[in-house]
Amino acid sequence: MSDSDNPPRHRAVPSGRISRLAGFGRLAGGVAGSMLGEGARRLAAGQRPKLDELILTTGNARRLTERLAHLRGAAMKLGQMISMDAGDMLPPELSQILASLRDQANFMPPKQLDKVLAAEWGKDWRKQFRRFEPRPIAAASIGQVHRAVTRDGETLAIKVQYPGVAESIDSDVDNVATLLRVSGLLPKELDIGPLLTAAKEQLHEEADYIREGEQMMLYRERLADLPVFVIPELHKELTSERILAMSFVEGIPIESLEHEPQDLRNTVFEQMMRLVARELFEFGVMQTDPNFANFRYQRDTGRVVLLDFGATREVDDKIRIAYRRLLEAGLAEDKLGIKQEALRAGFMSAAVVELYPERVDRMIDIIVNEMSQDAPFDFGDRSFVPLLRDEGMAIAQDRRTWHLPPVETLFVQRKVSGTALLGARLKAVVNVRAVVEEVLAATA
């Protein structure tokens, strides 16, 4: 979580079931009204409007981000996931608006904050600190972070969960799914039940700050041999299910390195790539949230700060094997092997290959040609992305091809794709083939 460039503002979090349901109702009503107005405008202009064009308007995207930012919790988290996972596939205007969810800076009013802290620490909670800054240094979907100094002079970062967030996870996820169904953006034939179940499970885990503290300590142990990474220390005495207390670690937003020399950007991003590879193939455990705000950089030490371990989860052995086989086929430039492994792992459906074999082959060609060369790969050169998007969107127009990969792969792929987006932001240039070969050999 990070500070926003825009001044943050107080905004109470709706914590009751009725108030949150009303928020979704206002969102649905606003979207419906916009659709009617846009449809009438297009009909008057002699156009035949399509449903998805009426829904995916700039105005509706603004309504979505504003309402999800107000609700926070699971609702906002899902909006963030959409912006991270589908950013390259959405029109630029919509992608930019949805991306603003990652930088929302609304936070709880002081009275609501005091009520939450008193419920966790008791009414005299202030006596534990020399100073507790009421203005948060960061605000995100599930909680906000405050800087504090204990009576012993230790500077801490205190993450405080928004009230009602944990209790509203299941209903929020169901309400978002209902909006997608009613909008027509999801076909009835697509079974998203397993995805919704997994989303609820992970969000409940992220809302358990005791679990997150334990995961943070485990990561400190796993990365003890890698001093290039810094992880905060847990303050157990002040940590509870709704409050996470940890040492305050200085650092600047990692995306701000885009203005630094090329060598530094390359080095930092290669370290991030190696971390993801070790998570997948060595640890079998991955922090699956690639939000840029979860990574910071220390200028004085040259180290990367890792934050937010709520989305940490084990990676199933089958998924690890599937990724290894895919990468091995890619390194061998075995295009048929890539297709076969992608089908075997459930990354794509047999219907896609059967109905659009030429498009699938072209997409594989693009990826192999870009990623398999034994030479530095320029992540800042996104010229191949529109080519992939055009082929992918052409296939996606046919709902017979709609398919959900195994849920566990979605979490891993989110981290992989999000890390690539960071590389694009930093315009990093890294020999991907060399890194992959090295990691695969070391973890064989």
Q: Token digits for 349?
A: 């459906």
**222 touches 102 (CB < 8 A):** no
Which residues fall within 8 angstroms of residue 111, CB to CB, at 6 or more apart?
Answer: none
* Over residues 299-320, mean pLDDT: 94
Q: Is the pLDDT of residue 394 over 70?
A: yes
Q: Is the pLDDT of residue 118 over 50?
A: yes
Please give the model's pTM, rounded to 2 decimal places: 0.79
Produce one character per residue of 82-107: b if its CB has 16 or more CB atoms within 10 Å, e if not.
Answer: bbbbebbebeeebbebbbbbbbbbbb
Helix (H, G, I), strand (E, B) or coil at 86: coil
Amino acid, res. 121:
W
Q: How far is the C-alpha of 436 from the C-alpha of 327, rounded, in Å?
A: 8
Q: Is the pLDDT of residue 234 over 90?
A: yes
The pLDDT tens digits of the residues spanning 335-376 come to 999 999 999 888 888 999 999 999 999 999 988 888 778 899
pLDDT reported for residue 51: 38
Q: How far is the C-alpha of 289 from the C-alpha of 204, rounded, in Å?
A: 14
pLDDT reported for residue 178: 72
Tell me the DSSP string of 63-80. Answer: HHHHHHHHH-HHHHHHHH
pLDDT band of residue 331 (cuts 50, 70, 90) is very high
Q: Is the pLDDT of residue 68 over 60?
A: no
Produce one character per residue of 349-376: b if its CB has 16 or more CB atoms within 10 Å, e if not.
Answer: beebbeebeebbeebbeeebebebeeee
pLDDT reported for residue 440: 93
pLDDT reported for residue 179: 65
pLDDT reported for residue 61: 53
pLDDT reported for residue 18: 45
The pLDDT tens digits of the residues spanning 172-206 come to 777 777 766 665 555 566 677 777 788 788 889 98
Place of tokens 């035949």: 48
**Residue of 103, 289, 361, 374 with catalytic role:** 289
289 is a catalytic site residue: yes
* Over residues 43-56, mean pLDDT: 42
The pLDDT tens digits of the residues spanning 310-326 come to 999 999 999 999 999 99
pLDDT reported for residue 136: 92
pLDDT band of residue 210 (cuts 50, 70, 90) is very high
* Number of CB atoms found within 10 A of residue 383's CB: 8
**339 touches 367 (CB < 8 A):** no
* Over residues 393-418, mean pLDDT: 83
- What percentage of the chain reaches a pLDDT higher than 90? 50
pLDDT averaged over the chain? 79
pLDDT reported for residue 145: 94
3-state SS string for 300-339: CCCEEEECCCCCEEECCHHHHHHHHHHHHHHHCCCHHHHH
Residues in the chain: 444
Q: How far is the C-alpha of 386 from the C-alpha of 88, rounded, in Å?
A: 8
Contacts of range 330-336, beta carbons closer than 8 Å, 24 or more positions apart:
330/367, 330/368, 330/371, 330/372, 331/372, 331/433, 331/436, 331/437, 331/440, 333/368, 333/372, 335/361, 335/364, 335/365, 335/368
Query: Residue 340, CB half-sphere, CA atoms under 13 Å: how many?
Result: 7
Q: Is the pLDDT of residue 91 over 80?
A: no
